[in-house]
Structure 1
Amino acid sequence: MKELFYTLVFLIFFTRLSAQEFMLSSPNELIRVELHQPDEVTENWYFKVFYNESPSEKALIPKIEMGLARNDEGFSSNLKLRKTGKIKSISEAYNLIHGKRSSTSNAAREVTFYFRNDSGKKMNIVLRVYNDGVAFRYEFPDKEGNFSIDNEFTAFSISVDATRWLEKWNPANEGLYQQMQGDSLRGEWGYPALFHDRDTIGWYLIHEANLNRTYAGTKLSNTKDINTYNLVFPNPGDGRGTGKSKPDISTPWQSPWRVIIIGNLATVTESTLVTDVSDPVKLKDTDWIEPGLVSWNYWSSNHGTKDYQIVKKFADLAEKMGWKYTLLDWEWDAMGNGGNLEDATAYINKLGVKPLIWYNSGGDHTWVPATPKDRMLTHENRVQEFTKLNELDIAGIKVDFFESEKQNMINYYLDIVEDAADFNLLVYFHGSLVPRGWSRTYPNLMTYEAVRGAEWYNNVPTFTMNAPQHNTILPFTRNVVGPMDYTPVTFTNSQYPHVTSYGHELALGILFESGLQHLADRPEGYYSLPEEVITILKKLPAAWDDTKFIYGYPGKNAALARRKEESWYMAGISSELWEIEKEIALKFLKPGIEYQLKLVQDGEHDKAFKISDGKVTSEDTLKVKLLRRGGFIAVFEPIKSLTK
């Protein structure tokens, strides 16, 4: 009888191994990941991902193939599973100085799969299943030496029937997202990539996080198979051919996390999974880091910083509006018409505003000749320059034109951020990579461009008609994964005109999150607004305590509510070519509190507002009307408690 018992146990275990190696669910049981062995079609081990809200048994992602190739060994089709580790519970809470949520918590289950290749060399795969997604990464645990990674075989099998929102890869990450379904395009695609599988009702956003000095940035490519999105390394020509495309590693080693945010559209939009899996803060002192609004003269004046008188006008704007910062953009080293850099910083600081300053990242990796382009290149350069900036009471630096995500450039980004932190300098990047979670690790990194923002009204006439739809996609794609320096809230026109309403433009200051929020219009564009709107812009936060999805669909409309302390700010926009009306439940407000409402929506025409006041609670609904390509904002400030 005892022998029979052990035989049955062996058979059950063997059957389980033959069909399915392992299954791991999220703590809330909504997401399930299965590990499967290679089969006749698939050479590599693979994950299968299910979303349990689905009405069908179909997998949300039927196959995620895995594996790596080192310059000395392969770790893909030749892998044998040695053992599966014990399931661990992950429960974490942490704070962020800026972002969509100041106090963040997450829960996950984690397991490690221990593999060997034919030579007996070890590679582990660590899997975490969170309530809002999946993350996995590779490990080489042995202390063997130095290697290069020749290839990563991570690949997502995604049916062409899934609706997708993808941005064609470009080194500055400033393309337009395209909505595709059916005969979708082949190509290389930047992060993050959004997918909606109608059969399983699931939404998912593919990204990577905690990229560090030990790897290069990756992107997605379906050039070989239209249904398979492979992770690929940077192109050799990126950064004018400087740097190696394939990363060098030293073991023991861990890869960045491969992240898939999963759920309904609200789950995806509100997720903090990218920072959840990133390294905790490395700075000992963060009290000096202050998010804030910034006046910016480039959008309206192009060569504004070259003119001392224009610099003064934008400093005056920041002072009158109560904004913390003003930016001295390119050409500050050629400033004239009554003053130079020293005069400008003295004037700005006397007003109680803090100056920020622009730099070309420089070096042989960029084609852009704009100066100064030699101040960031080495540690010695940076120490010398940052010492001067401290003497001028300059609060932070904008560094531009990186044009590569090769490993050498990842190191360059992090060198700048770390050295700047030693001098209490804020940092933000333009012409850059998309956020990978660094703002948690280095909170002095305030924002990134990596978006086709309002600057493109200066660049091409086509952005005029692209912008409305593009703006409604960004809250569900690019801005999900980290701060986004779109430079919003522009009412007047720059090189090419708007077709969005004033209500639409006003809403972008709330809808788009950025630790340094550049409001890009010229001073008269703000001074001519109604007093109620000016008052809102004076008090507008640049960092939030909470964020809630209200409604939306990428490419059509979007509405979010964000909380700062006890006040809520809600904003919505539309790209539709007709007027729409929305009735919004105010359940995001704190129950038992009465709020003073200030509603600013589209008026009689696209350059007019309709402003109204009222008192509301969480049990009320709010009716809003948006013109075509329109928008609205609503501000809720607590008045009193309704409970005894």
Structure 2
Amino acid sequence: MNRIIRGAARYKKSSFFVFLLFALPGLAQQYNITSPCKNITVQVSNDAGISYSIVYNDKTVILPSPLGFELENEPAMKGGFKVLSQEETTFNETWEPVIKIKHAAVVNHYNELNLLLAEKDSLMRHLRLCFRVYDDGVAFRYTLYRSGKPGNRQITGELTGFRFAGDQKAWVAEYKSGYASSQEAEFAAKALTDMHISTKAGLPLLTKVNENAWAAITEAEIDNYPGFYLGASRQADSSITLFTKLAPLPHEPEDGVKARFDDSLPTPWRVIMLAATPGKLIESEIVQNLNKPCAIADPSWIKPGMSAWDHWWSGEVKMDMPTIKTYIDYASREGWPYMLIDWQWYGPFNQPVADITKPAPQLNMPEILQYAAAKKVRCWLWLYSADVNRNNNFEKAFALYESWGIAGIKIDFMDRDDQEMVNWYHQIIKAAAAHHLLVDFHGAYKPDGITRTYPNMITREGVMGEEYYKFSNRVTPEHNTTLPFTRMLAGPMDYTPGGFLNVTQKQFKQQSPTLVSNTRCAELAKFVVYESPFMVNCEHPGNVYGQPGENFLQQVPTTWDDTQVLDGYPGEFVAIARRSGNSWFIGALNNSKGRTLKVPTGFLSAGNYQLQIWTDAKDADVDPKKVQQSTITLKAGTPLTIRMSNAGGYVAIIKPFTINSDHAK
């Protein structure tokens, strides 16, 4: 279970941080709540309609924005409420996650306002609003209740809005094909005014509110409820309201039913992450904090780590015994704990005859598993989602995999986040946990922090990752340097880095084996910059053995005790320092314009350090595979110079080093 390493406290607060302004007739009731360090204030207004607004560092970032619901065969719930009760509490704990994605110890400190509302008219429907205000953001959720006689109530729309003043810059992933999506798209930089009523923008959505305020909208703890998207509308005062669009249930039209419920229904948390710089958003733990503690009684079997992957990405699948053993050997040589056996291991998939309990005839599964065990490697298995769900046989299959000693399952091609699919995810995650299986969802919706509650849900895709080099020209250095500030804010992403056939952007072409249009050092940096406790290496071992950078892949971990963003801007560059034990790892990624950074080293404790460095060679612009390796010493606090080529990168491993201080550089 998540170990509490500093005591949790929840208690009622006095009115110094939450206060009610009793209104004159015709004026609204207003409830104000501040963050623990008072840098954020939320105001909830109960008038003809109910709304909220947010002030960050004394400047309004969210103007008064609507709240409420539309329901099938019922009037909309959006105003005319009286407050039946209010409760103000504070909560403060430090907990230790099973899977250390960013930090070994996570602070969960917020002030909370709970309002129970009832309509004043004859319907008297109830609605609960809960706001949590952290020092790095705001989250709120609703709870709906059964109304009248038992039976399904049906949500057709959520009226939650996010109203911004002016025309801020935003980074938006737009899903033009609709809600049935693998959520693999670029986060394009555009003005909020470029969004429209018809836009279906995925989350997280990043926006630069002003020079000292950045906001990212996402959601947490999605359960028994559809995922949400954003459209936009311009208001009479030229402000822009981003409004909620929910994924409809299967076979429902876009304006049809989104969720059904009988008794109480808590929605996911609507999250507004806030920071003075975009890099600080990456450090935030708010999404995990909004999920419940670990529900697995003994999670000691859950182990993160790197994985080899049997050549689907860097060449065509060859599903036979020699190929699988080649990749087991690869994992063993590099010291990685896992090898992923991808599609076709059980023969034809997504067909009525597909059977996820029977290996293809050319494979000897006992021999594979015995060979892997001898090499101290454990295997994962790929599964097509429809095959998992066919005849509801996944419980039988998961029990079988557990008896085989399989470490985890990669399930693919769900491509939905409606209420039914969300519930299916939860069913699969819990069943997998019962059989000691890790889970990696591909063709998946964005993470929501469930890894805190079910740490066997170790990573997922929902990202336009490395495989797109195989069949498109869409993966650019600008895309790669945008992802840490956008998609990664939601949680771990299985980008599958590691391509060693590096070429310039002019040399790039679609072929097999797959080329990668950034430098070797940029490829190494992805293993530090991108977060995924189950990190899947995409490359064929023949392209890695003996090549520059292989020695880095043998050392880089996949979980972290601390994370500090040194500098960065979406679409331009990012530099992150992450600590594992006593060692720090620096990873920096660059866009298509060469640059030199001078980054602080204040994250280091006092003393001298040795740096093992992999940096772009001077002629990496011509031959991106070239790497310059060096070892230097550095005194803590001395700025570090990072030079990166066009589409380049940089990695370093920093370890304490005892030397004469006169020789520290």
Secondary structure, aligned partner of 2:476: helix
- C-alpha distance after superposition, 1:560-582 (max 9, x if no partner): 111111211111011033x2111
Q: CA deviation at 1:17?
A: 8.6
Q: CA deviation at 1:207?
A: 0.7
Equivalent residue for 1:32? 41
Deviates more, 1:215-224 or 1:470-479: 215-224
Secondary structure, aligned partner of 1:357: strand
For the pair 1:294 / 2:307, whether they are aligned, the reply is: yes
Secondary structure, aligned partner of 2:542: helix
State the distance in 2 between where 1:594 and 1:74 align.
68
- C-alpha distance after superposition, 1:66-100 (max 9, x if no partner): 00233464453333232562321121222222211
Equivalent residue for 2:4? none
For the pair 1:608 / 2:626, whether they are aligned, the reply is: yes
The partner residue of 1:595 within 582, 585, 609 is: 609
Equivalent residue for 1:106? 108
Equivalent residue for 1:349? 373
In the alignment, residue 312 of structure 1 is paired with which amino acid? K
Q: How many residues align?
A: 602
Q: How does 1:276-355 map to 2 (within 5 A)?
A: 276-334=289-347, 339-355=363-379
For the 8 Å contact 2:154–2:257, the answer to whether it is kept is no
For the 8 Å contact 1:84–1:113, the answer to whether it is kept is yes
Q: How does 1:206-605 map to 2 (within 5 A)?
A: 206-213=217-224, 215-222=225-232, 227-235=240-248, 245-264=257-276, 265-334=278-347, 339-362=363-386, 373=387, 375-377=388-390, 381-460=393-472, 462-463=473-474, 466-492=475-501, 495=512, 497-530=515-548, 533-577=549-593, 579-589=594-604, 591-604=605-618, 605=620
State the distance in 2 between where 1:141 and 1:303 align.
52
Equivalent residue for 1:8? none
For the 8 Å contact 1:307–1:337, the answer to whether it is kept is no
For the 8 Å contact 1:429–1:447, the answer to whether it is kept is yes
Q: CA deviation at 1:137?
A: 0.7
Q: CA deviation at 1:175?
A: 0.7
Equivalent residue for 2:77? 76
The partner residue of 1:152 within 124, 147, 158 is: 158
- C-alpha distance after superposition, 1:182-208 (max 9, x if no partner): 641321011111011126x21011011
- C-alpha distance after superposition, 1:400-452 (max 9, x if no partner): 01121111111111111111111111111000110011111100011000000
For the 8 Å contact 1:593–1:641, the answer to whether it is kept is no
Equivalent residue for 1:628? 646
Deviates more, 1:217-226 or 1:470-479: 217-226
State the distance in 1 between where 2:635 and 2:378 align.
38
Q: Which has the higher helix share?
A: 1
In the alignment, residue 447 of structure 1 is paired with which amino acid? T
Q: CA deviation at 1:211?
A: 0.9
State the distance in 2 between where 1:195 and 1:86 align.
32
Secondary structure, aligned partner of 1:18: coil
Secondary structure, aligned partner of 1:441: coil
Residue identity over aligned pairs, in percent, reads 28
The partner residue of 1:47 within 42, 48, 52 is: 52
State the distance in 1 between where 2:318 and 2:346 align.
9
State the distance in 2 between where 1:12 and 1:44 align.
17
RMSD of the alignment, in Å?
A: 2.6
In the alignment, residue 449 of structure 1 is paired with which amino acid? E
Q: CA deviation at 1:585?
A: 1.1
Q: CA deviation at 1:609?
A: 1.1
Q: Which runs of 5 or more residues in structure 1 are unaligned?
A: 1-10, 363-372
Q: Which runs of 5 or more residues in structure 2 are unaligned?
A: 1-19, 348-358, 503-510
In the alignment, residue 607 of structure 1 is paired with which amino acid? K
Q: CA deviation at 1:299?
A: 4.2
State the distance in 1 between where 2:145 and 2:94 align.
28
State the distance in 1 between where 2:459 and 2:660 align.
39
State the distance in 1 between where 2:115 and 2:647 align.
50
The partner residue of 1:138 within 126, 137, 142 is: 142
Deviates more, 1:89-98 or 1:185-194: 89-98
Secondary structure, aligned partner of 1:311: helix
Change (3 A) 1:640 1:142: farther
For the 8 Å contact 1:125–1:137, the answer to whether it is kept is yes
State the distance in 2 between where 1:17 and 1:280 align.
44
Q: CA deviation at 1:181?
A: 1.7
For the 8 Å contact 2:172–2:187, the answer to whether it is kept is yes
State the distance in 2 between where 1:642 and 1:46 align.
62
For the 8 Å contact 2:102–2:562, the answer to whether it is kept is yes
Deviates more, 1:594-603 or 1:295-304: 295-304
State the distance in 2 between where 1:342 and 1:568 align.
40
State the distance in 1 between where 2:307 and 2:257 align.
36
Q: CA deviation at 1:329?
A: 0.2
Q: CA deviation at 1:160?
A: 5.8
In the alignment, residue 380 of structure 2 is paired with which amino acid? L
Q: CA deviation at 1:513?
A: 0.7
State the distance in 2 between where 1:435 and 1:458 align.
25
For the pair 1:161 / 2:167, whether they are aligned, the reply is: yes
Q: CA deviation at 1:394?
A: 1.1
For the 8 Å contact 2:21–2:30, the answer to whether it is kept is no
Change (3 A) 1:15 1:324: same
State the distance in 1 between where 2:463 and 2:363 align.
33
State the distance in 1 between where 2:134 and 2:370 align.
50
Secondary structure, aligned partner of 1:173: coil
State the distance in 2 between where 1:300 and 1:127 align.
44
For the 8 Å contact 1:188–1:222, the answer to whether it is kept is no
TM-score (norm 2): 0.85
In the alignment, residue 599 of structure 1 is paired with which amino acid? I
TM-score (norm 1): 0.88
In the alignment, residue 24 of structure 1 is paired with which amino acid? I
In the alignment, residue 38 of structure 2 is paired with which amino acid? E
Change (3 A) 1:617 1:19: farther
Deviates more, 1:520-529 or 1:492-501: 492-501
State the distance in 2 between where 1:638 and 1:108 align.
36
In the alignment, residue 533 of structure 2 is paired with which amino acid? G
State the distance in 1 between where 2:427 and 2:170 align.
35
Deviates more, 1:278-287 or 1:150-159: 150-159
In the alignment, residue 277 of structure 1 is paired with which amino acid? L
